[in-house]
A and B are shown apart, each in its own frame.
Chain A
Amino acid sequence: MNVPDVMPIVTVSFPDALRTRVGNRRTVAAAGRTVREIIDALDRDFPGLRFNLCYETGELRPYVNIFVGRENIRYLQGLETAVTTGVTLHILQSVAGGR
């Protein structure tokens, strides 16, 4: 029996600095299999968001942290980190920034 391939749906929470980009919401639902796909999906709904999070060359900006649950993706598979339905992605400003 074939099991339909269901795209995971996650909750993404945003810091204050990005809420105007996502319609002043604290959290948004998005579908994707990896963090990168989630960002792509969010950018379709909220154009310009990818540029807020990533350089044009594709890598995550140095002072942006993304957590899948409680795990920083920098210590997992980076933007290729897989996500599962129901998990929360936390986008946060790094404590190391703001020099």
Chain B
Amino acid sequence: MTQQRAYTSGSVLLLVGTKRGLFMVTSRDREKWEIAAPTLKGHRVFYAILDQRSGSRLFAADNGDFFGSFLRYSDDFGETWQEPKMGIQFAEGGGEKLVNIWVVEAGRASEPGTVYAGVDPASLWMSTDHGETWEIDRGLATHPTRERWEPGAGGLCLHTIIADPTNANRMWVGISAVGCMRTDDGGRSWVFANKNTRTDFLPVKYPEFGQCIHRLVQHPKEPDVLYQQNHCGIYKSVNAGEDWMDIQHNLPSQFGFPIALDVHHPETVFVVVEDPAARHNVGQQFTVYRTQDGGERWEPLTNGLPQGNGVMLGILRHAMCTDTIDPCGIYVGTNTGQLFASRDRGDSWQMIADFLPSIYSVTATLLV
């Protein structure tokens, strides 16, 4: 008989996707944390979520080094994993092949069986039966500009999916290096949403597409408000991505990967900007930056974060998240295997794990 781990209601569960497995880190008070032995051991787990809309189903983007990529699911907190009946695979002989699965997100609360996934080559996949079968969004897959999409360093990856909870027909996706795209008709057609975001690496600084968006978040109370961390800046939109405002202001760098916000105080946004050439903290102090006024001014958060000659920490796009408690917790995983946590909106930090494999992603769920 399969044994199930006991996860207490009211605990916070962090799913930490790494280069060599998926780690589950839990806490009842956000002070003491327990790290379970990894599941999917040895696998490159790009992203994982816990979907509690009906039961507790884990989804993991499992990108094997040898035998293919799979969007696996588990109903017993990782003791056993299932493969979909009809997984994410392009049509045989169709000219495209699955490189990596980058992200998986639960659909809207009103669509409990719907799950979305983003992959390389950039495409959006949807399941309406809780991950058993998957199909591709044809509107994005047949976009008229698709043949001119160029990859970023990590590939041509669809890495961010936002299904607007207030509008069943509206979604945004982030694709490197194509930019932000939006649908207003349930995925049948897509428009670019890149106006006023820069491409410093192209001769045209403000093209229609080609931007390297790194991550995107939506304001939970004002659905037209979005924030993005881009290769070339930090931006805010107040009109659903029709155009963007540069909100770098006093940040020491325009470059970084993750962005997250406090769902209870949505003018509070967190970024981890980096030295763009070295891809680690600017200077010797590892710093998370916070704005509490929607990007007008940023403050460095360093209490409990390491400093020194040997501190050179990089954070990948999916490796920072917040929880849904107030005051919010923030969780940051490094590409050298450290996991930092704050339970007070970033005012203070502790390292809750070290020596993990390179961290690709962190997601946080309050267990019901």
Contact = CB atoms under 8 A, between A and B. Distances in A.
A9 interface: no
Contacts of A51: 68, 87, 89
Interface residues of B, number: 16
B91 interface: yes
A22 B272 CA distance: 46
A99 B64 CA distance: 11
Interface stretch (A52-60, A72-80, A81-89): A52-60
B355 interface: no
Nearest to B69: A51
A64 B96 contact: no
Interface string A30-71: 000000000000000000100111011110010110000000
Contact of A52 (B68, B91, B92, B97): B68
Q: Interface size bucket, A side? A: 10 to 19
B65 A63 contact: yes
A53 B68 CA distance: 8
Contact of A94 (B66, B89, B92): B66
Nearest to A62: B66
Q: Which of B65, B91, B96 has the most CB of A within 10 A?
A: B65
Nearest to A93: B66
Contacts, number: 42
A57 B95 contact: yes
B90 interface: yes
A85 B24 CA distance: 49
Mostly helix, strand, loop or mixed at chain A's interface? loop
B144 interface: no
B83 interface: yes
A58 B93 contact: yes
B66 A57 contact: no
B98 interface: yes
B155 to A, nearest CB: 15
A61 B92 contact: no
Given A48-B83, A56-B98, A97 B65 contact: yes
A23 interface: no
A61 B67 contact: yes
A18 B65 contact: no
A87 to B, nearest CB: 23
Interface of B: 65-68, 83, 87, 89-98
17 contacts: A17-B67, A18-B67, A51-B87, A51-B89, A52-B67, A56-B91, A56-B93, A56-B94, A56-B98, A57-B94, A61-B67, A61-B68, A64-B66, A64-B67, A93-B66, A97-B65, A98-B65
